Amino acid sequence: MLHTERLLLRPFGSADIPDTQASCSDSLIQQWLPLPRPYTMKDATSWCTNVASALRESGDGIHFAVTDSPTGRLVGTVGLKKTDWRARTSEVGYWVSPWGRGKGIAAEATRAVARWLLTDQQFQRLELRAATGNTASQNVAIRTGFHREGILRNAGFVHTGRVDLVLFSLLPEDSAVTVMHSGG
């Protein structure tokens, strides 16, 4: 579990199924993530009770349910994938529930995971990839302190087809990580 000023990042559980289903059915999340369409209760149940924990156990990554600390309600997810333990690199991804948008949740949760990975776990590189048209996700990367490296042509896919991705990175020596580590 990870804590921020407003959020608790914890493992997914069965209580998260309804909010996961509602969030992953949202048109904006569906626009940028190649999730099942329609996203059913069965899909949400599988993610919350099996898939998320299996990814952690396999070593591929870790996916946190991002919850509002006072209420405990799911407001999004942030997770690591494509984790290379030998090279000490990983990629971060996230989505925010419709009822959590516009509050800085994605940046706050991503900052917490980045701090944990690059400082506590001593990883050497964290990547973030966002479709060139997904300006909201790119803004999260910038607000979190990631550096824009360039465009990966035809590297992603969404329901409408292939997309170019903007590649961002964060390294342990980057000033954003130093600020995060000192409590900023």
Instruction: For residue range 92-145, list pLDDT tens digits in order.
Output: 999 999 999 999 999 999 999 999 999 999 999 999 999 999 999 999 999 999
Q: Measure CA 3 to chain center.
A: 15
| Residues 1-48: tens digit of each pLDDT | 999 999 999 999 999 999 999 999 999 999 999 999 999 999 999 999
pLDDT tier at 181 (50, 70, 90 boundaries)?
low
Q: What is the pLDDT of residue 178?
A: 62
pLDDT value at residue 183:
52
Task: List 125's β-bridge partners, or say none.
Answer: 89
* Alpha carbon distance 75, 67 (integer Å): 5
Higher confidence at residue 100 or residue 56? 100
Reading the block at residue 1, the tokens are: 């579990």
Q: Which of 13, 9, 10, 1 is nearest to 48 (CA)?
A: 13
Give the closest residue to 171 by CA, choosing from 130, 122, 112, 108.
122
Distant-in-sequence contacts of 71-77, Cβ < 8 A, 24+ apart: 72/8, 73/19, 73/99, 74/16, 74/19, 74/20, 74/23, 75/7, 75/99, 75/100, 75/105, 76/23, 76/100, 76/105, 76/106, 76/109, 77/12, 77/20
pLDDT at 177: 72
* Preceding omega of 38 cis (within 30 degrees of 0): yes
Residue 58: band (very low, low, confident or very high) from pLDDT cuts 50, 70, 90: confident
Q: pTM for the complete prediction?
A: 0.92
